Chain A
Amino acid sequence: MLYAQILVNGLILGGLYACIAVGFSLVWGVLNVINILHGSFVVLGSYVAYFAYVHLGIHPFLSIVLSGALLFALGYVIQAGLINRVIAAPVLTTLVLTFGLELLLNNAVLVAFSADYRAVQLANPMGSQIIGGIVFPMERVMATLLALALTGLLYLMLAKSKIGRSIVAVRMDPEAAALMGVKVKRIYAVTFGVGALMAGAAGSLLSVVFPISPLNSTEFLGIAFVVCVLGGLGSIAGAMVGGLALGVIESFGALLIGPQHGLTIAFSLLILLLIVRPTGIMGRRGYE
C-alpha cells in the first residue's frame, strides 16, 4: 500500500512537472532556443495567482487565464523584440542571452516581491479524500488534472488550429514554411509566447501546492531540463511521459535515499540519459 501511495504521489507531482516542461520543450523544439527564463516565468505565474487571490479573491485555478495572458504578452515581446534578432546565431549566443535576461528578470522579481516565501492560503481548502486506502490531497489532484488538461489543449491547438499547424510547419522546416507564406519570425514570437503562457499557467497551479519565491526559478528550470531530456525533445507526449516519469522517480528516490536528494537523482539521471540515449525515452519525434 505504501508503494501505491508513493506511486500516486509521484504521478500527481509528475502531471505538474509535465505542465512546467511542455512550454520549455516547445520553445526548444521549434526555435532551438534554450529558454533559461522559463523558471522565472513559472515564478511570475505563481505571483500573479497569489496577488489575484489576495487582492481580488480569484481562485488560483481560475487565475491561470490571467497569468497565461500576461505571460504570453511578456514572452511575445521578449521574442519579437530581442531573441528574434539573434535567432540565427550559434547556440551559445541565444543561451547566454536568455541567461542575461534571466538575471535581469529574476533580480527584478526579487526587488519587487522580496525573497520571502509566500503561500496561497485558500479560504476553503479541499482537504483530502481516501480512496482504497490511498490518500488523495484534493488540491494537488485538481491542479494536476488541470495541468494535464492544459497540456491536452496545447496538443489540440497544435494539431487543429491554423496557428498550431504553422508552428509545426516552422518546426519541420522554417524555409519551406516561409515559402508557403508563414511569417516565421511572427510564429517564433507566438511560440515563445505560448511557452511562457504554459509556464505562467503552471505557476498559477503550483501556487496552491508549493510556497512561492523568486528563489524557486532555478529548480523549475532544472525540472524542465530533466523532463525534456527524459521524455525526448519536441513532442507533447514526450514532455508528458518525461514529467510523469520524473515525478515517480523522485517520489521513490525520496523514499530510498531521503527527500533532500530528489533533484540530485533527477540530475544524475539526466547526465546518464544524455550519455546513453540523448533522444529520450520516447525517441525523436515532432509535433505531428
Chain B
Amino acid sequence: MNKGQTMHRVAVALTLIAVALIAALPALSDNYLLRLGTMGAMYAILALSWNIIGGFAGYPSFSTAAFFGLGAYSGAILQGAGLPMPLAWVAAGLIAMAFATLLGLAILHLKGHYFAIASLVVAEVLLEITTSWTSLTGGGMGLNLPIIRISIDAQARLFFWSMLAIAVMALGMNYWVSRHRLGFGLMCIRQNEDAASMVGINTTLYKVTAFALSAVLVGAAGALYASWVFYIEPPDVFATLTSVKPIVMAMLGGAGTVLGPAIGAVLFLAMEELVWRNLLQIHAAALGLLIVALIFFLPGGLLGLVTGKRKRRVVAKKGETTSNSAVKGGAA
C-alpha cells in the first residue's frame, strides 16, 4: 500500500470522526449515547490492538481477555491503594505490557493452533487465580472501586473522552506500525516466518514487540473500564468473548489494515445494540451467525470489499515496494 494513499485515508477517517463528534456534541449530553460512545471506543481499542499481532503478524492471538482483565484488576487494586485514577490507568497499561512481553517470550515460538490455544488458556488461568486470591482481588465476590466525587454527567463525559483518547492512540499506533519497519517485518513474518528470519528480521524481537504493543492499550482500557463501571468481577473482565469479539470486529472491517478494525468495531457495536438488544435469548446465536456469514461472504472484511477490485494490482506492486523497502532497510 503506498504511503500517500494510507495517509490520505487516515486523514479522511480522522476528519470524519471529528465531524461526527462535533455533530454529535449536543447529543453528548445524553448519557445513553455517551455510554454507547464509550463502549464503541473501547471496542475500537481492543480490535485495533489485536490487529497488531493478529492482523499484521498473522498470529491468532486469543489473549485480549487476559490483558483486559489484568489491566482492569491492576487498575482497580492500584486505585484502591490510593493511586490517582489516570496514573492507575497508565500503570495498568504498563503492567499488561510487561506481562505480554514475558508471555510472548514464552509462547510466541508456538505456531498456529498451539499458539491460539496457549493464548486462549492464559485468560482462564488468570481468571482462576483472580477468583482464588481473595485477599488481593476480593475473589468471586468482585471488587468495588473508590467513588469519584464529581457529578454523574461529568463522569460519563470524562470516561467517554478518556476512552476516545486511548482509541485515537490505538489508531495512531496502527498507523505508525504500518509505516514503520516493524510493520513491514511483521507482514513478512505473516507471509513466511522462516524466510523472514533468513533475510535478517529478528523474528522473536518483532513478534514480542507486536505482542507487547497489542497489550498496552488493552490493559489501560481495562483499567478505564473498571473505573467506569465501579465494580468488577473475574468472569466479567476475563470472559472468553472479550478475546473473540475483537477478532470478529477486525475481520469485519478488514484485518491487517489500519482503519478496518476501527470501522469493524463501530459496526459491531451498532449490530450488538440494534439487533441483539431485542433478541436477548438468542444473542449468542446471532453473534455466531454473524461470524459464519462473515467468513463465507466477506472474507476480506469491508475494506477488502472496497479494495478488492484493485487487489491484483496491489499484489503486483507489492513486489516493487518490497524490494524498495529492503534496499532502504539495508541502507539504514
Question: Using a CB–CB distance below 8 Å, which chain A residues touch chain B?
Answer: 28, 32, 34, 82, 85-86, 89-93, 95-97, 99-108, 110-111, 218, 222, 225, 229, 261, 263-264, 267-268, 270-271, 274-275, 278
Contacts and interface: CB of A to CB of B under 8 A. Distances in A.
Contacts of B124: 222, 263-264, 267
A103 B60 contact: no
A208 B147 CA distance: 50
B132 to A, nearest CB: 7
A267 B112 contact: no
Interface of B: 54, 58, 60, 106-107, 110, 112-114, 116-118, 121-122, 124-125, 128-129, 132, 240, 244, 247-248, 251, 281-282, 284-285, 287-292, 294-296, 299
A93 B299 contact: yes
A34 B299 contact: no
Given A107-B285, A274-B110, A99 B125 contact: no
B77 to A, nearest CB: 21
Give chain A's interface secondary structure class.
helix
Given A225-B121, A267-B124, A270-B121, A103 B296 contact: no
Nearest to B251: A96
A237 B106 CA distance: 28
Given A96-B247, A107-B288, A278 B110 contact: yes
A274 B107 contact: yes
Contacts of B128: 261, 263-264, 267
A228 B50 CA distance: 27
Contacts of B110: 274, 278
A225 B285 contact: no
A104 B107 contact: no
B114 A278 contact: yes
A82 B288 CA distance: 14
B95 to A, nearest CB: 19
5 contacts: A97-B291, A100-B287, A111-B281, A218-B240, A222-B121
Given A107-B288, A274-B107, 11 more contacts: A28-B113, A89-B299, A91-B60, A91-B112, A95-B113, A100-B292, A104-B289, A225-B117, A264-B129, A267-B121, A278-B114
A261 B132 contact: yes
B282 A111 contact: yes
Contacts of B248: 96
B69 to A, nearest CB: 15
A275 B106 contact: yes
B99 to A, nearest CB: 13
Contacts of A268: 125
Contacts of A278: 110, 114
Nearest to B116: A95
B295 A86 contact: yes
Contacts of A90: 58, 60
Contacts of B60: 90-92, 95
